[in-house]
Chains A and B, each alone.
Chain A
Amino acid sequence: MKKTPPILDIKGLRIALPKGADRSFALEGLDLTIEPGEIVCLVGESGSGKSLCAGAIMGLLPVPHVHIAGGGIRFMGDELVGKSESEMRQIRGQSISMIFQEPMTALNPQKTVGWQIDEVLRLHTNMNRAERRARAVEMLERVHIPDPESAYNAYPHQISGGQRQRVMIAMSLALSPKLIIADEPTTALDVTTQLQILKLIRELQEQDGAGVLFITHDFGVVAEIADKVAVLCQGVMVEQGPADQVLNHPRHPYTQALIGAVPALTPPPVKPVLNSPVVLKGTGLKKTFAARGGLLSGKRKAVVAVKDLTFQLHEGETLGVVGESGSGKTTVSRIVTRLLECDSGKVELDGKDLLACTPRELRAMRSHIQMVFQDPMASLNPRKRVVDLIAQGPIVHGADPAKARDDARRLLELVELSPAAANRFPHEFSGGQRQRIGIARALALEPKVIVADEPVSALDVSVQAQVLRLLADLRDRLNLSLLFVTHDLRVAAQLCDRIIVMQKGEIVESGITAEVFANPQHPYTQNLLSSIPGRDWTPPSFRTDAA
């Protein structure tokens, strides 16, 4: 076998950040090689500099604020640092291509899918119209899009999210590049679609023998696809090695902490929750979104978000609501807190129907059911101090303001934040800290039920683990009942006593978490469970840190 040079060889790459950033270099001395036919995963939490690395290779850094300060990037033995813009333009697309995270924004909504693939070929090859069309259709076929001929003439909004990502892949592979950079290509997709896309990337890469630099934050995805793994922490590469070694025998403490934070797919021990009294009961809930027309225009087509949903939440229990996007799980969380008006059905909280309450009664009832929101930044009023945010609920319900603020300070301690946080504004906190504030606010009213709508999906994995642990801890200490909405089956497995699986507004399966995971009955549940990335990999546990 002939020795070929590596496709990509990064040596001592340093990327400088503008003055006033939290550190002076986004990347400090990164060394990375990608051999032909190899998938290298670059893993790191947000702010670790992984996306800037991709930008540096593509020559797409926002110069002069962010620029390469040292080191080299050799592509097929050819130095990329210092190449002119026009030379880089030739290489981009032709030899190095990129798959972006959000296929909807990366595709031009005004042009058909076929036109956009055609454009790539037109700019970089001398093919004539018929050849280009044949090639485009062939590419669509290779990415397994059903009926490539009609997809060729479709606009991006006419095809599904997974198909758009397939189109993006078809576009980036149309010129048979030597290197593919995939920047979180599956993060915006549902698990079942994610698995298909990962398989597709692997399959195509094997056919073409290209090298892939796969940027991700998700160790499950890494376990699924990687040959080699490099872990970035704050711009410094802390560990690099074959996937098996890094995943199962990580050596650096940071990698160990990261992997230790990945929720294992082992459900909690079964608690005798079914004997406790029911605190929240939903019966026959229905919600249809009728797209509202104007004063004079007629009604448009209605979308059924939830049809005939019935569930029970016992005291001290955590009920997980899992499903993919569009399954109606978020709608459920908004209906039971009556942030959305329901079409029909009943939500009984301690035997009282929440949906039949008058506005005045409802306001009083609200103190019994509280919510933790998905986006901790958006759910905290940016113009209010933390102590006021937390004390607001009790004050509205008639508590003495001074006492409510004292209680708020105590709650901060309960969610493991320093009391000094009380007089700050939300933007001064990190994502995980904000979510703790959100939890403290929900607890301030001493509710019986907490509805948590994807409370950890906006957080990095290590922070996610801390927040989950806090939630579980508080639940046990305060005997809370949790309705936990999530798309992440790993998170659900970790926290929920029982789960209900939703598809298209309906419950397809429900039961004790351990039983559902061990023996799923419904084909959809089976499909979901078999799509969890890295499901065959059990993260080794490191209980070195007591954090």
Chain B
Amino acid sequence: MTNLDAELSPPEPPRLLVFWRRYKRNRAALFGLAIFAIVVLMALTAGIVDPGDPLRRAGAPLTPPFVDMATPLGTDQLGRDVMSGIFYGARISLLIGVVATLVAIAIGVVIGALSGYFGGWVDDVLMRITEAFQTIPNFVLLLTLVAILGSKIEWITLAIGIVSWTAPARMVRAEFMSLRSREFVDAARNLGVSNTSIIFREILPNALPPIVVYASVIMALSILLESALAFLALGDPNYASWGNMIGQGRAVLRSAPYCAVIPGIAIVLTVLSFSLLGEGLNDALNPRQKKQ
């Protein structure tokens, strides 16, 4: 007899559990998650590890690491504690990474969604604007914006967000273009759902997985951009940031390389963790894309 169609398959485990199972299959992604957790922990405990100002003089200038227990990772030429700088720098890096990414994704999603959903002249206009932004090299635009807006940490974050929205916008547009012709969008229209709801409630959740994955890339890039700015002494001088530390360590690179190397390692590991995280998210969110 035909097995009548009314029987249901057994229920699936909760989505979060499935997500975690898929995520942990990727060992590298677990490693990335671990580093990311450490960076977050550092940012959270910076105030406990060193309750004072990280930019104050903490010991004799250019103390090498592991010599004085008060400054375990040594001090720079102004006697500032390197370890305390690393911990406080994690805050700045994470802040910039998260906020700049949110800014970039928000602009990118709105522009990409409008342009992909409506098409026609809306698409033409928005994409020409996007291309105008894309033709200017990222970093040059960032320098210009910082020169105009000033070197405050808020403006730097905003400027990084503004220079990195073009790639997500293009990606969101492509996702929307393929999703808007799917029947479930017609079905929603047929129910009388408004355009705004269709864009944000129907299509966007389906377009989200690649955006989330790409967000991790933008996070890594924005941390790098901030470090590059700080290296050129255009960062906010009132905050200890890894880029600042490398920039200033450059002066004593021959005699005290650790001043630049330690924050360098911190940047490398953080950026690596984001990119591994992104890969893990990709495996977990788009399981069909990768056949084992």
Q: Is A428 an interface residue (CB 8 A)?
A: yes
CB distance from B140 to the nearest CB of A (A): 28
Of the listed stretches B5-13, B153-161, B266-274, name the one at the interface; the rest are far from the partner chain: B5-13
Q: Is A397 an interface residue (CB 8 A)?
A: yes
Of the candidates B11, B182, B187, B206, which one forms a contact with A441 in the assembled complex, judged by CB atoms under 8 Å apart? B187
Instruction: Give the complex CA separation of A150 and B101 in angstroms.
Output: 58
Structural contact, A424 and B8, CB atoms closer than 8 A: yes
Of the listed stretches B43-51, B72-80, B189-197, B223-231, name the one at the interface; the rest are far from the partner chain: B189-197
CB distance from A490 to the nearest CB of B (A): 18
Residues of B within 8 A of A378 (CB): 182-184
Instruction: Give the complex CA separation of A27 and B11 in angstroms.
Output: 27
Of the listed stretches A275-283, A366-374, A500-508, name the one at the interface; the rest are far from the partner chain: A366-374
Structural contact, B4 and A367, CB atoms closer than 8 A: no
Residues of A within 8 A of B124 (CB): 294-295
Q: Is B17 an interface residue (CB 8 A)?
A: no
Q: Is A270 an interface residue (CB 8 A)?
A: no
Known A373-B187, A545-B1: A381·B202 in contact at CB below 8 Å? yes
**Residue interface mask A363-393, B partner, CB < 8 A = 1:** 1101100110111001111110000000011
Q: Is A430 an interface residue (CB 8 A)?
A: yes
Instruction: Give the complex CA separation of A334 and B124 in angstroms.
Output: 26
Residues of A within 8 A of B238 (CB): none
Structural contact, B184 and A380, CB atoms closer than 8 A: yes
Known A381-B202, A382-B206, A466-B5: A445·B191 in contact at CB below 8 Å? yes
Residues of A within 8 A of B184 (CB): 378-382
Structural contact, B191 and A396, CB atoms closer than 8 A: yes
Instruction: Give the complex CA separation of A54 and B238 in angstroms.
Output: 72
Of the candidates A253, A334, A379, A429, which one forms a contact with B187 in the assembled complex, judged by CB atoms under 8 Å apart? A379
Looking at chain A, what size class is its interface with the partner chain?
A: 35 or more
Known A418-B6, A430-B5: A367·B192 in contact at CB below 8 Å? yes
Structural contact, A383 and B206, CB atoms closer than 8 A: yes
Structural contact, B192 and A393, CB atoms closer than 8 A: yes
Residues of B within 8 A of A392 (CB): 188, 191, 193
Q: Is A63 an interface residue (CB 8 A)?
A: no
Structural contact, B187 and A380, CB atoms closer than 8 A: yes
Residues of B within 8 A of A367 (CB): 192
Q: Is B205 an interface residue (CB 8 A)?
A: yes
CB distance from A241 to the nearest CB of B (A): 20
| Interface members, chain B 233-269 (any A CB < 8 Å) | none
Instruction: Give the complex CA separation of A441 and B183 in angstroms.
Output: 14
Known A294-B124, A379-B183, A383-B206: A257·B1 in contact at CB below 8 Å? yes
Residues of A within 8 A of B135 (CB): none
Residues of A within 8 A of B2 (CB): 254, 257-258, 261, 462, 545, 547
| Interface members, chain B 1-29 (any A CB < 8 Å) | 1-2, 4-6, 8-9, 11-12
Q: Is B131 an interface residue (CB 8 A)?
A: no
Q: Is A416 an interface residue (CB 8 A)?
A: yes
**Residue interface mask B199-221, A partner, CB < 8 A = 1:** 00010011000000000000000
Number of A-B contacts (CB under 8 A): 102
Looking at chain B, what size class is its interface with the partner chain?
A: 20 to 34
| Interface members, chain A 257-310 (any B CB < 8 Å) | 257-258, 261, 292, 294-295
Instruction: Give the complex CA separation of A379 and B152 in angstroms.
Output: 49
Instruction: Give the complex CA separation of A428 and B10 in angstroms.
Output: 9
Structural contact, A295 and B121, CB atoms closer than 8 A: yes
Q: Is A421 an interface residue (CB 8 A)?
A: yes
* Most chain A CB within a 10 A radius of its CB, from B5, B6, B188: B5
CB distance from A354 to the nearest CB of B (A): 12
Of the candidates A295, A370, A381, A421, which one forms a contact with B188 in the assembled complex, judged by CB atoms under 8 Å apart? A381
Instruction: Give the complex CA separation of A378 and B180 in angstroms.
Output: 11
Instruction: Give the complex CA separation of A182 and B164 in angstroms.
Output: 53
Instruction: Give the complex CA separation of A429 and B7 in angstroms.
Output: 9
Instruction: Give the complex CA separation of A441 and B184 in angstroms.
Output: 12
Instruction: Give the complex CA separation of A375 and B180 in angstroms.
Output: 15
Q: Is B68 an interface residue (CB 8 A)?
A: no
**Residue interface mask A414-434, B partner, CB < 8 A = 1:** 001110110011001110110
Q: Is A216 an interface residue (CB 8 A)?
A: no
Residues of B within 8 A of A21 (CB): none
Residue of B nearest to A382 (CB): B206
Residues of A within 8 A of B197 (CB): 396
Instruction: Give the complex CA separation of A378 and B182 in angstroms.
Output: 6
CB distance from B203 to the nearest CB of A (A): 9
CB distance from B100 to the nearest CB of A (A): 27
Of the candidates A294, A366, A432, which one forms a contact with B192 in the assembled complex, judged by CB atoms under 8 Å apart? A366
Q: Is A486 an interface residue (CB 8 A)?
A: no
Q: Is A463 an interface residue (CB 8 A)?
A: yes
Of the candidates B1, B6, B190, B205, which one forms a contact with A370 in the assembled complex, judged by CB atoms under 8 Å apart? B190
Structural contact, A418 and B8, CB atoms closer than 8 A: yes
Structural contact, A254 and B192, CB atoms closer than 8 A: no
Residues of A within 8 A of B4 (CB): 466, 547
Structural contact, B206 and A381, CB atoms closer than 8 A: yes
CB distance from B177 to the nearest CB of A (A): 14
Known A295-B121, A430-B5: A424·B11 in contact at CB below 8 Å? yes
Known A379-B187, A380-B187, A383-B206: A429·B8 in contact at CB below 8 Å? yes
Structural contact, A428 and B183, CB atoms closer than 8 A: no
Known A339-B190, A420-B8, A424-B8: A253·B1 in contact at CB below 8 Å? yes
Residues of A within 8 A of B186 (CB): 334, 339, 371, 373, 379
Instruction: Give the complex CA separation of A405 and B209 in angstroms.
Output: 28
CB distance from A401 to the nearest CB of B (A): 14
Residue of A nearest to B119 (CB): A292
Known A379-B183, A381-B202: A363·B194 in contact at CB below 8 Å? yes
Q: Is A510 an interface residue (CB 8 A)?
A: no
Structural contact, A433 and B5, CB atoms closer than 8 A: yes
Instruction: Give the complex CA separation of A155 and B124 in angstroms.
Output: 33
| Interface members, chain A 330-377 (any B CB < 8 Å) | 334, 337, 339, 362-364, 366-367, 370-371, 373-375
Residue of B nearest to A423 (CB): B11
CB distance from A17 to the nearest CB of B (A): 15
**Residue interface mask A503-547, B partner, CB < 8 A = 1:** 000000000000000000000000000000000000000000101
Instruction: Give the complex CA separation of A379 and B184 in angstroms.
Output: 4
Instruction: Give the complex CA separation of A294 and B125 in angstroms.
Output: 12
| Interface members, chain A 158-180 (any B CB < 8 Å) | none
Of the candidates B1, B12, B191, B193, which one forms a contact with A428 in the assembled complex, judged by CB atoms under 8 Å apart? B12
| Interface members, chain A 192-216 (any B CB < 8 Å) | none
Residue of A nearest to B182 (CB): A378
Structural contact, B1 and A547, CB atoms closer than 8 A: yes
Known A393-B192, A397-B192, A428-B12: A374·B5 in contact at CB below 8 Å? no
CB distance from A425 to the nearest CB of B (A): 8
Structural contact, A254 and B5, CB atoms closer than 8 A: no
CB distance from A436 to the nearest CB of B (A): 8
Residues of A within 8 A of B182 (CB): 378-379
CB distance from B288 to the nearest CB of A (A): 11
Report 8 cross-chain contacts, Cβ distance below 8 Å, ordered by A residue: A362-B192, A371-B190, A373-B187, A378-B182, A381-B188, A382-B184, A433-B8, A545-B2
Q: 10 tightest A-B contacts by CB? A: A379-B183, A366-B192, A363-B192, A393-B191, A378-B183, A432-B5, A383-B205, A462-B2, A381-B184, A373-B183
7 additional A-B pairs beyond A257-B2, A392-B191, A392-B193, beta carbons within 8 Å, are A258-B2, A378-B184, A418-B6, A424-B12, A429-B9, A433-B6, A445-B191
